Amino acid sequence: MKYSAKGVGKSEGYPVIKLSSRETQILSLYLKEGDLRKVADKLGVSISTVKTHRSNIMAKLGVRNAVELTLSAIKRGLVSPTGRNE
């Protein structure tokens, strides 16, 4: 599934979460690629930098793993599915 990042979560029942433009970019690429190395290569940064951004995003969302990150980002309206793998 592909995702389009929005940057500000507005879903009912969840507090509004604002991500920086870089965090939004990292989140979108991470959800599309599923691999930190690919995200780092596409952005021309180190894997450590991507891990730091991902950790910051996860802390803002209050999640502990990649599955929770994906589900929370969708539920909060931070990303929206733009296609399906069938």
pLDDT 10s digits, 16-46:
788 999 999 999 999 999 899 999 999 999 9
Domain boundaries, the chain: 2-83
Per-residue confidence (pLDDT) for residue 5, from 0 to 100: 53
**If pLDDT is split at 50, 70 and 90, which confidence band does 78 have?**
confident
Taking the domain 2-83, which CATH number applies? 1.10.10.10
Per-residue confidence (pLDDT) for residue 82, from 0 to 100: 64
33 neighbors 39 (Cβ within 8 angstroms): yes
Q: pLDDT over 70 for what percent of the chain? A: 78
Q: Which residues contact 29 (CB under 8 A, 6 or more apart)?
A: 38, 39, 42, 43
Q: Please report where in the chains the tokens 């991902």 appear, as a residue.
A: 54
The pTM assigned to this predicted structure is: 0.77
